[in-house]
Structure 1
Protein backbone atom coordinates (compact mmCIF):
# COMPACT_ATOMS: atom_id res chain seq x y z
CA UNK A 1 0.00 0.00 0.00
CA UNK A 2 1.41 3.44 -0.93
CA UNK A 3 2.37 5.94 1.72
CA UNK A 4 -0.27 8.57 2.52
CA UNK A 5 1.22 12.05 2.34
CA UNK A 6 -0.13 14.71 4.66
CA UNK A 7 0.92 18.26 3.81
CA UNK A 8 1.25 21.12 6.27
CA UNK A 9 1.53 24.83 5.55
CA UNK A 10 4.01 27.14 7.19
CA UNK A 11 2.00 30.27 6.31
CA UNK A 12 4.57 32.99 6.85
CA UNK A 13 3.61 36.65 6.97
CA UNK A 14 6.46 38.98 7.87
CA UNK A 15 8.17 37.75 11.06
CA UNK A 16 5.29 35.40 12.03
CA UNK A 17 3.87 31.99 11.14
CA UNK A 18 0.21 30.98 11.35
CA UNK A 19 -0.64 28.17 13.77
CA UNK A 20 -4.01 26.48 14.19
CA UNK A 21 -5.53 24.95 17.32
CA UNK A 22 -6.97 21.46 16.82
CA UNK A 23 -10.53 20.55 17.73
CA UNK A 24 -10.07 16.79 17.25
CA UNK A 25 -9.17 14.01 17.85
CA UNK A 26 -9.59 14.21 21.63
CA UNK A 27 -5.93 13.39 22.34
CA UNK A 28 -4.79 16.36 20.22
CA UNK A 29 -7.65 18.80 20.89
CA UNK A 30 -6.39 22.16 22.13
CA UNK A 31 -2.86 21.64 20.78
CA UNK A 32 -1.42 23.68 17.93
CA UNK A 33 -0.28 22.67 14.44
CA UNK A 34 0.53 23.97 11.02
CA UNK A 35 -2.72 23.77 8.99
CA UNK A 36 -3.02 21.27 6.16
CA UNK A 37 -4.32 17.83 5.30
CA UNK A 38 -4.14 14.68 3.21
CA UNK A 39 -3.13 14.59 -0.43
CA UNK A 40 -5.92 12.99 -2.50
CA UNK A 41 -5.12 10.43 -5.23
CA UNK A 42 -4.04 12.21 -8.43
CA UNK A 43 -3.49 15.52 -6.61
CA UNK A 44 -0.12 17.26 -6.39
CA UNK A 45 1.13 18.21 -2.94
CA UNK A 46 0.95 21.99 -3.64
CA UNK A 47 -2.60 21.59 -5.03
CA UNK A 48 -3.63 19.58 -1.95
CA UNK A 49 -2.19 22.24 0.33
CA UNK A 50 -4.00 25.04 -1.53
CA UNK A 51 -7.28 23.08 -1.35
CA UNK A 52 -6.86 22.40 2.35
CA UNK A 53 -6.13 26.06 3.12
CA UNK A 54 -9.25 27.12 1.19
CA UNK A 55 -11.32 24.58 3.17
CA UNK A 56 -9.75 25.13 6.60
CA UNK A 57 -8.98 28.86 6.56
CA UNK A 58 -11.62 30.28 4.22
CA UNK A 59 -9.00 31.66 1.84
CA UNK A 60 -9.21 31.73 -1.95
CA UNK A 61 -6.66 29.90 -4.09
CA UNK A 62 -5.29 33.24 -5.31
CA UNK A 63 -4.70 34.36 -1.70
CA UNK A 64 -1.72 32.04 -1.22
CA UNK A 65 1.45 30.97 -2.97
CA UNK A 66 2.83 27.54 -2.11
CA UNK A 67 6.61 27.66 -2.09
CA UNK A 68 9.47 25.28 -1.34
CA UNK A 69 9.60 22.51 1.22
CA UNK A 70 10.32 23.32 4.85
CA UNK A 71 12.42 20.87 6.85
CA UNK A 72 12.46 17.10 6.56
CA UNK A 73 9.63 14.61 6.23
CA UNK A 74 8.14 13.39 9.50
CA UNK A 75 6.85 9.82 9.69
CA UNK A 76 3.54 9.77 11.57
CA UNK A 77 3.41 5.98 11.37
CA UNK A 78 4.43 3.24 8.91
CA UNK A 79 1.79 4.39 6.39
CA UNK A 80 1.69 8.19 6.74
CA UNK A 81 4.31 10.88 6.08
CA UNK A 82 3.95 14.51 7.09
CA UNK A 83 5.58 17.08 4.79
CA UNK A 84 5.70 20.88 5.27
CA UNK A 85 5.83 23.66 2.69
CA UNK A 86 6.43 27.39 2.99
CA UNK A 87 3.32 29.34 2.01
CA UNK A 88 3.05 33.09 1.44
CA UNK A 89 -0.20 34.82 2.27
CA UNK A 90 -0.70 37.25 -0.62
CA UNK A 91 -4.02 38.68 0.53
CA UNK A 92 -7.06 37.76 2.58
CA UNK A 93 -7.52 37.04 6.26
CA UNK A 94 -7.50 33.43 7.50
CA UNK A 95 -10.43 32.30 9.66
CA UNK A 96 -10.65 29.09 11.74
CA UNK A 97 -13.21 26.96 9.88
CA UNK A 98 -11.86 23.58 10.96
CA UNK A 99 -9.91 24.68 14.04
CA UNK A 100 -10.74 26.11 17.45
CA UNK A 101 -8.52 29.17 16.91
CA UNK A 102 -5.72 30.63 14.80
CA UNK A 103 -2.82 32.78 15.90
CA UNK A 104 0.35 34.31 14.50
CA UNK A 105 3.55 33.48 16.39
CA UNK A 106 7.07 34.82 16.14
CA UNK A 107 10.30 32.81 16.20
CA UNK A 108 10.73 33.76 19.87
CA UNK A 109 7.30 32.31 20.72
CA UNK A 110 7.66 28.99 18.86
CA UNK A 111 8.85 27.04 21.89
CA UNK A 112 6.01 28.40 24.07
CA UNK A 113 3.34 26.86 21.83
CA UNK A 114 1.71 23.56 22.90
CA UNK A 115 2.41 21.83 19.56
CA UNK A 116 1.02 18.50 18.38
CA UNK A 117 4.02 16.15 18.75
CA UNK A 118 4.69 15.66 15.02
CA UNK A 119 4.98 19.37 14.22
CA UNK A 120 7.67 19.88 16.88
CA UNK A 121 10.11 18.37 14.37
CA UNK A 122 9.97 21.58 12.33
CA UNK A 123 10.58 24.13 15.10
CA UNK A 124 14.22 24.73 14.17
CA UNK A 125 13.33 25.09 10.48
CA UNK A 126 10.46 27.44 11.31
CA UNK A 127 12.72 29.60 13.48
CA UNK A 128 15.21 29.89 10.60
CA UNK A 129 12.42 30.73 8.12
CA UNK A 130 11.21 33.58 10.34
Structure 2
Protein backbone atom coordinates (compact mmCIF):
# COMPACT_ATOMS: atom_id res chain seq x y z
CA UNK A 1 0.00 0.00 0.00
CA UNK A 2 1.36 3.40 -0.98
CA UNK A 3 1.51 6.60 0.97
CA UNK A 4 -1.70 7.76 2.64
CA UNK A 5 -2.27 11.37 3.53
CA UNK A 6 -4.90 11.91 6.20
CA UNK A 7 -7.28 14.85 5.96
CA UNK A 8 -9.25 15.66 9.10
CA UNK A 9 -12.82 16.88 8.85
CA UNK A 10 -14.43 18.65 11.79
CA UNK A 11 -17.88 17.67 12.94
CA UNK A 12 -18.12 20.95 14.84
CA UNK A 13 -21.27 20.90 16.98
CA UNK A 14 -22.75 23.86 18.85
CA UNK A 15 -26.14 23.88 20.54
CA UNK A 16 -27.19 20.75 18.65
CA UNK A 17 -26.22 22.11 15.23
CA UNK A 18 -23.47 20.98 12.84
CA UNK A 19 -21.28 23.54 11.05
CA UNK A 20 -21.08 23.32 7.24
CA UNK A 21 -18.66 25.42 5.19
CA UNK A 22 -19.20 26.43 1.55
CA UNK A 23 -16.12 26.21 -0.66
CA UNK A 24 -15.01 29.24 -2.65
CA UNK A 25 -12.05 27.39 -4.23
CA UNK A 26 -10.94 25.44 -6.21
CA UNK A 27 -13.34 26.19 -9.07
CA UNK A 28 -14.62 22.59 -9.37
CA UNK A 29 -15.73 22.62 -5.71
CA UNK A 30 -16.84 26.25 -5.38
CA UNK A 31 -20.41 26.59 -4.09
CA UNK A 32 -20.47 23.07 -2.60
CA UNK A 33 -20.48 22.34 1.13
CA UNK A 34 -18.07 20.38 3.33
CA UNK A 35 -17.00 19.73 6.86
CA UNK A 36 -14.17 22.19 7.57
CA UNK A 37 -10.69 20.78 8.10
CA UNK A 38 -7.49 19.98 6.26
CA UNK A 39 -4.35 17.90 5.93
CA UNK A 40 -2.52 16.39 8.88
CA UNK A 41 1.10 17.55 8.71
CA UNK A 42 3.94 15.01 9.10
CA UNK A 43 4.43 14.21 12.78
CA UNK A 44 1.17 15.92 13.77
CA UNK A 45 -1.62 14.09 15.62
CA UNK A 46 -4.98 14.18 13.81
CA UNK A 47 -6.74 15.81 16.78
CA UNK A 48 -4.05 18.53 16.93
CA UNK A 49 -4.39 19.08 13.17
CA UNK A 50 -8.14 19.53 13.63
CA UNK A 51 -7.65 22.24 16.25
CA UNK A 52 -5.02 23.98 14.06
CA UNK A 53 -7.16 23.82 10.90
CA UNK A 54 -10.22 25.24 12.68
CA UNK A 55 -8.11 28.14 13.94
CA UNK A 56 -6.70 28.79 10.42
CA UNK A 57 -9.94 28.30 8.44
CA UNK A 58 -12.54 29.69 10.85
CA UNK A 59 -10.64 31.78 13.41
CA UNK A 60 -12.01 29.75 16.34
CA UNK A 61 -10.59 28.03 19.38
CA UNK A 62 -11.95 24.50 19.46
CA UNK A 63 -11.45 21.29 21.38
CA UNK A 64 -11.25 17.99 19.54
CA UNK A 65 -13.58 15.31 20.82
CA UNK A 66 -13.63 11.75 19.55
CA UNK A 67 -13.03 10.26 16.17
CA UNK A 68 -16.12 9.23 14.23
CA UNK A 69 -15.55 5.55 13.35
CA UNK A 70 -14.37 4.89 9.80
CA UNK A 71 -12.52 6.80 7.14
CA UNK A 72 -13.53 7.89 3.68
CA UNK A 73 -11.46 7.87 0.48
CA UNK A 74 -10.78 11.15 -1.27
CA UNK A 75 -8.63 11.58 -4.38
CA UNK A 76 -5.62 9.25 -3.93
CA UNK A 77 -3.55 9.30 -1.77
CA UNK A 78 -5.89 11.23 0.55
CA UNK A 79 -8.31 9.72 3.07
CA UNK A 80 -10.63 11.64 5.38
CA UNK A 81 -11.12 11.01 9.07
CA UNK A 82 -13.78 12.94 10.97
CA UNK A 83 -13.43 14.08 14.55
CA UNK A 84 -16.11 15.68 16.67
CA UNK A 85 -15.24 19.12 18.01
CA UNK A 86 -16.77 21.88 20.05
CA UNK A 87 -15.98 25.55 20.47
CA UNK A 88 -13.86 26.39 23.49
CA UNK A 89 -15.52 28.71 25.98
CA UNK A 90 -14.81 32.30 25.02
CA UNK A 91 -14.03 31.41 21.40
CA UNK A 92 -15.12 33.97 18.82
CA UNK A 93 -17.88 32.90 16.42
CA UNK A 94 -16.61 31.04 13.33
CA UNK A 95 -16.05 33.10 10.21
CA UNK A 96 -14.88 31.95 6.76
CA UNK A 97 -11.21 32.83 6.33
CA UNK A 98 -9.58 30.39 3.87
CA UNK A 99 -11.24 28.68 0.89
CA UNK A 100 -14.80 29.28 2.16
CA UNK A 101 -17.31 32.07 1.57
CA UNK A 102 -20.23 31.06 3.81
CA UNK A 103 -20.88 29.04 6.96
CA UNK A 104 -24.15 27.55 8.17
CA UNK A 105 -25.16 25.90 11.42
CA UNK A 106 -27.49 23.04 10.46
CA UNK A 107 -29.86 21.18 12.74
CA UNK A 108 -29.88 17.42 12.07
CA UNK A 109 -33.20 17.70 10.20
CA UNK A 110 -31.75 20.39 7.87
CA UNK A 111 -28.32 18.86 7.18
CA UNK A 112 -29.32 17.70 3.69
CA UNK A 113 -30.57 21.18 2.69
CA UNK A 114 -27.09 22.04 1.38
CA UNK A 115 -25.23 20.56 -1.61
CA UNK A 116 -22.44 18.56 0.05
CA UNK A 117 -19.30 17.62 -1.89
CA UNK A 118 -19.76 13.94 -2.85
CA UNK A 119 -16.93 12.59 -0.69
CA UNK A 120 -18.33 14.34 2.38
CA UNK A 121 -21.80 12.74 2.06
CA UNK A 122 -20.95 9.35 3.66
CA UNK A 123 -18.85 11.10 6.33
CA UNK A 124 -21.74 13.43 7.21
CA UNK A 125 -24.20 10.52 7.25
CA UNK A 126 -21.95 8.55 9.63
CA UNK A 127 -21.34 11.66 11.75
CA UNK A 128 -25.09 12.13 12.23
CA UNK A 129 -25.52 8.44 13.10
CA UNK A 130 -22.63 8.68 15.56
CA UNK A 131 -24.12 11.80 17.18
CA UNK A 132 -27.55 10.18 17.41
CA UNK A 133 -26.02 7.26 19.30
CA UNK A 134 -24.55 9.55 21.97
CA UNK A 135 -26.41 10.15 25.23
Give yes or no for TM over 0.5. yes
| Corresponding residue for residue 96 of structure 1 | 96
Cα distance between partner residues in 2 of 1:110 and 1:71: 19
TM-score calculated relative to the size of structure 1: 0.91
Per-residue deviation, 1:47? 1.0
For the pair 1:64 / 2:62, whether they are aligned, the reply is: yes
Cα distance between partner residues in 2 of 1:108 and 1:71: 22
1:28-43 equivalence runs, <5 A: 28-43=29-44
Given the superposition, is the C-alpha separation of residues 90 and 34 from structure 1 closer, same or farther in structure 2, using an over 3 Å criterion?
Answer: same
| Corresponding residue for residue 84 of structure 2 | 86
| Corresponding residue for residue 76 of structure 1 | 74
| Corresponding residue for residue 110 of structure 2 | 109
8 Å CA contact retained: 1:5, 1:83 = yes
| Corresponding residue for residue 45 of structure 1 | 46
> Is the partner of 2:51 in helix, strand or coil?
helix
Cα distance between partner residues in 1 of 2:115 and 2:26: 15
TM-score calculated relative to the size of structure 2: 0.87
State the superposition RMSD in angstroms.
1.4
8 Å CA contact retained: 1:70, 1:125 = yes
| Corresponding residue for residue 120 of structure 1 | 121
Cα distance between partner residues in 2 of 1:124 and 1:74: 12
Per-residue deviation, 1:70? 1.6
8 Å CA contact retained: 1:71, 1:122 = no
For the pair 1:20 / 2:18, whether they are aligned, the reply is: no
